[in-house]
Structure 1
Amino acid sequence: MTFYTEMQAMAHELIEEFGQVGVVTRVTPPDPVLGGEPVSTPYPATLVPMAYEARYIDGTVILAGDVQIYISSVGLPITPTVGDTVTANGITYQIIRTDPNVYDSQTSVVHICQARA
């Protein structure tokens, strides 16, 4: 077990203990040639949504009401990205920025997302 695998397990354990079950939803656009309807695919996730501290809210990059969502990478088959949505506490948030925390180019320790309702 590598150091980053251990860190991933520790992050998952903390998120599982203090977090909740939520959903990361990815919408796949229709085929540009064949057309069709967009397809929404929900992925269950263990996550912790937290409000930003006032000192980080600058009114430009981080707005009042934005949340920081820590998403466990354990068991999540996708990497959350801009354009995905996250549902937590019954509220659906749009992901604005992401940080997958991949330090060794292989193991995603935790996904940290800035999201907006």
Structure 2
Amino acid sequence: MATFDYAEIQAVAHELIEEFGQEGTVKRITPPDPVLGGDGTETSYPATLVPMTYDQRYINGTTILTSDRQIYVSSVGLAVVPQVGDIVSAGGVEYHVINADPNNYDGIANVVFIVQGRL
């Protein structure tokens, strides 16, 4: 039985996001040292992404707001896995990551990252 090639699907997803998307960043703020204190460390990672408006049927005013965006982030070349608490920048707008889905079906290749971003 042949296995499914998720790396190929990852490449196709990257091509589509690259063609129709834009350059942006995934910013992660590392909390300060719990003993010594200080400021958190902010690190930005370049990303290729596509912010999209949620379909009206998914907006319920509680978990998904009208201002939320569904952001497809290419996993190719991205140094981090987007997670809740990160900030995704797209077109000069910063979205706080409320929910993140790595779309990793085989435990090896992250096909694409789909995050819910909130202003």
Please report how far the alpha carbon of residue 106 of structure 1 lies from its aligned counterpart in structure 2 after TM superposition.
1.1
Could you list the structure 1 runs, at least 4 aligned residues long, displaced by more than 3 angstroms after superposition. Answer: none
Counterpart position of 1:10: 12
Please report how far the alpha carbon of residue 28 of structure 1 lies from its aligned counterpart in structure 2 after TM superposition.
0.2
Instruction: Give the distance between the partners of 1:61 and 1:24, measured in 2 at CA.
Output: 22
Please report how far the alpha carbon of residue 24 of structure 1 lies from its aligned counterpart in structure 2 after TM superposition.
0.4
Counterpart of 2:27 (choices 15, 19, 25) is 25
Counterpart position of 2:86: 84
Structure 1 unmatched ranges of 5 or more:
none
SS in 2 for 1:8: helix
Counterpart position of 1:44: 46
State the AA in 1 paired with 2:45. Y
State the AA in 1 paired with 2:52. M
Residue 111 (1) aligns with residue 109 (2): no
Residue 34 (1) aligns with residue 36 (2): yes
Aligned length: 116
Normalised by the length of structure 1, the TM-score is 0.97
Instruction: Give the distance between the partners of 1:111 and 1:84, measured in 2 at CA.
Output: 13
- Once the two structures are superposed, residues 38-85 of structure 1 have per-residue CA deviations (whole angstroms, 9 ceiling, x without a partner) of 000000000000001111101111111100000000000100000000
CA RMSD of aligned residues (A): 0.8
Counterpart position of 2:55: 53
- Once the two structures are superposed, residues 73-108 of structure 1 have per-residue CA deviations (whole angstroms, 9 ceiling, x without a partner) of 000010000000001011000000010000001110
Instruction: Give the distance between the partners of 1:65 and 1:76, measured in 2 at CA.
Output: 26
Structure 2 unmatched ranges of 5 or more:
none
SS in 2 for 1:55: helix
Q: After the TM superposition, which of the residue ranges 83-92 and 29-38 deviates more from structure 2?
A: 29-38
Instruction: Give the distance between the partners of 1:43 and 1:85, measured in 2 at CA.
Output: 10
